[in-house]
Structure formats: C-alpha cells, structure tokens
C-alpha cells in the first residue's frame, strides 16, 4: 500500500504553492510582516473563501469575498478582485518589495484586533517575485509563505510524537489543518498531510509523485515557536518543543553535522510543473503518493 493524502484537499499546485495559499499578509506601520511568533492572536483569525474558489479556472467576480473572523470582531469581507492600490516597502524575512493594499477597512480591522497599527496586503504576482533560497532549490519562488512553497508531514509522525507527550497536540500545531491558508501570519507553511507510512519516513523522501505532479524534498523543516502555540487559545506552552528537543533535534538526528539546536518536523518541498497535458491541476484527498527517490537516514537529508 502506498501512503496517501489524508487531510488536505489542495488545488492547483503551481511553482509558487497552492491557489489562495499565503497570498495575504498583515504588516505593521513600517510594512514589516506580523507572524504568530510575535502576534499569537493571529492564531484565532479564521478565514473563509467561497466554495467555487476551489474549482479549476474560477475567477473572482465583484461579489466574491474572502471572509475574515476573529473573537470579538465583526466579519471582515475582502473583495477577491485585485485591490487597486500598491503599497511599497513591504517586507517579510529577507524579502522586500511592493504589494497590493487591501484598504482602510481591513487596516482598521487588524489595527483594532491586534491593538497596533496594521495593514493587510496581498502579494502582487504581476510585479514581484520572491525566490526560494537557491542553496536549497534553484529557480523556485514563493509568495508570502515562510521559506518554501510546500511542506509535507505524516500522520504517523504526529502519532509517534503524541505517544511521547503527556498531552497530545493536534496536527494544527504544524499547520496542515486548513484547506487553504491565505495568511502567512496566521498559518505557518503550506502543509500536505499524508497517512499510511512509518513515522518520520517523510524525512527521507527526496522525490515523490502525487497525481501528475512531482514534488522534491529540499530541506527538513526546522521548527520555530509556532507549534508551541495552542491554535484554539493563542497561548504558548513548552510543548511540543521540549519533547522535540529530546527526540527530533539535530543533535539526535544528525550527530555528525554542525549543531544549531534545531528541531525538525516535516519536509519542505518544491513542485515541478506538471508534464502531463490536459489533466486537471488538482491534488486531492486519497491521492496515492509514490516515493520515487529517497535517502536512507535523516542524517543524509538536507537540513
């Protein structure tokens, strides 16, 4: 039996990621990205897109909205048609450029919610590119995701981690729960969740095939503070960091390599453009995953 996609129904992989994924960002007064690392309240922001937004070839009309909800806040509706204004000086990590500004209503909403001057911006794919670190993958780019367009983790890995934890954590700590994740700030990275494989076998995968797409594993995913934030309460705790430090650190997995105190969960991926013409550009729940190439230990994987 092949491992298969478990939870996420994902659409239109392209070189930059799934459609609607990590296109938006909430930024501060100076245009700098907010993330859950410093604004854990972003964990409680919920988003909704019209169901049609996930059909192939769909384009937004004047009455298509991204709906945004958070505790204590009125519903915020953002038109999916492109906002007209360009905002310069937006930055996230090492990248800076211009983005499309979602306007004053969105700005007021996030300013009220976070209690700090904020704006909401959309990636301007027409004028901007944000390349992936070429040390790991050359010729790929992303919108507002953290570092890579895709990440993959297995249910087996989570189950194994939960055996070691006093209180199990749900997979949403690692961010794959949602069909799409428009905000870079509120969702970590685009995660493909798979089932039917041994725990942590995804560490070893360097090339897999899902539907007609080939994905390459480019770097083990080292984890920041976000998995320690309870996504239902926005409160951070010591776990699963402490347990991951014991079982999933570079010290444990890669004892011969230079130590940086990192912990790993999941594999970062890029997607090669599909070579098959005429097929729907979809990957969906239940699609089998074919492992085409792998290394034999996590120490051999790029990290």
Ligand X SMILES: *[C@@H]1O[C@H](CO)[C@@H](O)[C@H](O)[C@H]1NC(C)=O
Among 112, 201, 230, 241, interactor with ligand X by CB under 6 A:
241
Residue of this chain nearest to ligand X (CB atom): 241
Regarding 242 and contact with ligand X (CB under 6 A), the answer is: yes
Regarding 224 and contact with ligand X (CB under 6 A), the answer is: yes
Q: Which stretch binds ligand X (CB under 6 A): 117-125, 152-160, 214-222, 240-248?
A: 240-248
Regarding 9 and contact with ligand X (CB under 6 A), the answer is: no
Measured distance CA(114)–CA(40) in Å, rounded: 10
Among 234, 245, 291, 299, interactor with ligand X by CB under 6 A:
245
Regarding 87 and contact with ligand X (CB under 6 A), the answer is: no
Closest to ligand X by CB, 36 vs 118, is 36
Closest to ligand X by CB, 253 vs 283, is 253
Count of residues making up the chain: 303
Q: Which stretch binds ligand X (CB under 6 A): 12-20, 54-62, 130-138, 241-249?
A: 241-249
Regarding 48 and contact with ligand X (CB under 6 A), the answer is: no
Regarding 234 and contact with ligand X (CB under 6 A), the answer is: no
Minimum CB distance to ligand X, residue 186 (Å): 18
Closest CA to 98 of 121, 76, 131: 121
Measured distance CA(264)–CA(299) in Å, rounded: 12
Contact of 150 with 215, CB cutoff 8 Å: yes
Regarding 225 and contact with ligand X (CB under 6 A), the answer is: yes
Give the tokens for residue 203. Answer: 């560490």
Minimum CB distance to ligand X, residue 37 (Å): 9
Q: Which residues from 257-286 bind ligand X, rule CB under 6 A? A: none
Residues within the interface to ligand X (CB under 6 A): 224-225, 228, 241-242, 245
């Amino acid at each position: 039996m092949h491992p298969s996609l478990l939870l996420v129904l994902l659409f239109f992989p392209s070189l930059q990621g799934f459609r609607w994924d990590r296109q938006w960002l909430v930024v501060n007064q100076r245009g700098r990205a907010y993330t859950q690392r410093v604004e854990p309240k972003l964990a409680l922001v919920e988003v909704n897109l019209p169901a049609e937004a996930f059909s192939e070839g769909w384009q937004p009309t004047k009455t298509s909205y991204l709906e945004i909800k958070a505790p204590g806040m009125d519903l915020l509706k953002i038109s999916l048609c492109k906002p007209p204004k360009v905002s310069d000086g937006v930055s996230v990590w090492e990248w800076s450029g211009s983005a499309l500004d979602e306007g004053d209503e969105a700005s007021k909403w996030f300013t009220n919610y976070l209690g700090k001057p904020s704006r909401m911006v959309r990636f301007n794919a027409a004028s901007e590119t944000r390349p992936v670190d070429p040390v790991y993958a050359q010729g790929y780019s992303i919108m507002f995701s953290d570092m890579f367009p895709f990440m993959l983790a297995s249910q087996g890995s989570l189950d194994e981690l939960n055996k070691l934890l006093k209180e199990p954590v749900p997979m949403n700590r690692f961010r794959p729960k949602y069909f799409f994740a428009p905000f870079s700030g509120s969702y970590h990275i685009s995660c493909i969740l798979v089932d039917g494989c041994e725990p942590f076998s995804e560490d070893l995968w360097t090339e897999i095939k899902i539907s007609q797409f080939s994905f390459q594993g480019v770097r083990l995913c080292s984890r920041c503070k976000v998995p320690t934030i309870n996504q239902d309460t926005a409160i951070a705790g010591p776990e699963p960091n402490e347990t991951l430090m014991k079982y999933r650190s570079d010290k444990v997995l890669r004892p011969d390599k230079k130590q940086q105190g990192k912990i790993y969960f999941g594999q970062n991926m890029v997607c090669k453009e599909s070579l098959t013409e005429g097929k729907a550009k979809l990957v969906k729940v239940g699609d089998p995953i074919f492992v085409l190439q792998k290394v034999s230990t996590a120490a051999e994987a790029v990290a």
